[in-house]
Amino acid sequence: MVWFILRRCGSAVIVLFVASVLIFLGVRALPGDPAVVMAGEEASPAVVEAIRHEFGLDKPLPAQYVDYVAQTLSGNLGRSTQDQIPVADILAERLPVTLELSALAMLVAIVVGVGSGIVASVRRGKLADYVATGFGLAGLSVPHFWLGLLGILLFAVTLRWLPASGYVPFTEDPGQNLQRMLLPALVLGTGFAAILMRQTRSAMLGALSADYVRTARSKGLAEAKVVGAHALRNSLTTVVTVLGLQLGALISGAVVTEQIFVIPGFGKLTVDAVLTRNYPVIQAVVLVTVIGYVVVNLLVDIAYAYLNPRIRLSGGGHG
């Protein structure tokens, strides 16, 4: 198991290396000379040359890459071209907001999605199954922005239960924070819950008709144990896989959701940075997203190995 995790960590480092090279080259490939942009249209070639030297832009690309990695590792991600605030500071402020939103949305998705998926599979062909699959299809088809607007209309405007938008940091007022995060988390979690529901349902249907479930029944075990231990345990690999695969959808969903609810998170930062061509921020945003992906996939792989003894015990070989 330890070897397995170390191996996965090794491949994660390789992925990060490749990603950093791509990000580095991607920014260099953009049209325009950053030194000229910084110096201004009217500047003399000597000034441009000085700036180029100051930022190391006259060095060969590999040397520039080494500088870039060294800077990034020491926490220096450059400054925002908009307001000269260090990008690292901006990230430190925005990232926790999105992490909270995503975590809440994922919690909603797991509780609702996995729960209703289990119920639907056990009650296959009955009313509960039709209700769950019906809502699942609806949840899958409805776009975030529409659901978000409807939610604001119903809960904020008509019922006046929840505030329409805005953000209060958790450290300032946890109650207010959760109240304002509830609706965005529900909106963001809905599509996710629908996908999880469908995957859990089909995985559970497969597991429930498996021979080992019949064996469990033949032992005289209670139905709760048959479903909750024997069938669910073998369906969890599917659930975990879907969780990992859907992370991308969660990030893009967060961008839209934060925009609707005016939440100053990572998603909103991304949109604003793209609109203002704030390259240092875009670069950092992409890097953080890649790291997020790699870390989540690493966790998924580890969870996989934990759940599936065939992977866990295959050791160094073909896992």
**At closest approach, how far in Å is the CB of 301 from another protein?**
17
Given 25, 222, 274, 295, the residue binding another protein (CB under 8 A): 222
From candidates 10, 45, 175, 309, binder to another protein by CB under 8 A: 309
Cβ nearer to another protein, comparing 59 with 217: 217
Nearer to another protein, 95 or 307 (CB): 307
| Closer by beta carbon to another protein, 199 or else 234 | 234
Q: Is 219 in the site for another protein (CB under 8 A)?
A: yes
Interface with another protein includes 307 (CB under 8 A)? yes
Q: Which is nearer to another protein, 160 or 219 (CB)?
A: 219
302 near another protein (CB under 8 A): no
121 binds another protein (CB under 8 A): no
Does position 313 bind another protein by CB under 8 A? yes
Q: Minimum Å distance from CB 319 to another protein? A: 13
| 52 touches another protein by CB under 8 A | no
Question: Binding to another protein (CB under 8 A): which residues in 224-263?
Answer: 230, 233-234
Least separation in angstroms between residue 212's CB and another protein is: 4
Under the binding rule (CB under 8 A), the answer on residue 220 touching another protein is yes
User: Contact between 216 and another protein (CB under 8 A)?
Assistant: yes
Closest among 198, 211, 202, 204 to 233, alpha carbons compared: 204
Applying CB under 8 A, among 3, 17, 161, 212 the residue interacting with another protein is: 212
28 part of the interface to another protein, by CB under 8 A? no
d(CA 260, CA 72) in angstroms, rounded, equals 32
For residue 21, the minimal CB distance to another protein (Å) is 40
DSSP per residue, the chain:
-HHHHHHHHHHHHHHHHHHHHHHHHHHHHSSS-HHHHHH-TT--HHHHHHHHHHTTTTS-HHHHHHHHHHHHHTT---B-TTT--BHHHHHHHHHHHHHHHHHHHHHHHIIIIIHHHHHHHHTTTSHHHHHHHHHHHHHHHS-HHHHHHHHIIIIIIIS--S-SS----TTT-HHHHHHHHHHHHHHHHHHHHHHHHHHHHHHHHHHHTSHHHHHHHHTT--HHHIIIIIIHHHHHHHHHHHHHHTHHHHHHHHHHHHHHHT--SHHHHHHHHHHTT-HHHHHHHHHHHHHHHHHHHHHHHHHHHHH-HHHHTTTTS--
Nearer to another protein, 81 or 308 (CB): 308
| Class of residue 242 by CB neighbours under 10 A (exposed 0-12, middle 13-18, buried 19+) | buried
Nearest approach in angstroms of CB 154 to another protein is: 39
Query: Based on the number of CB atoms within 10 Å of its own CB, is 266 exposed (0-12), middle (13-18) or buried (19 or more)?
Result: buried
217 binds another protein (CB under 8 A): yes
Q: Which lies closer to another protein via its Cβ, residue 3 or residue 212?
A: 212
Residues found in the chain: 319
Query: Judged by CB under 8 A, how many residues of this single chain contact another protein?
Result: 20
Rule CB under 8 A: is residue 218 a binding residue for another protein?
yes
Residue among 216 and 294 whose Cβ is closer to another protein: 216
| Residues in touch with another protein (CB under 8 A) | 210-212, 214-222, 230, 233-234, 307-310, 313
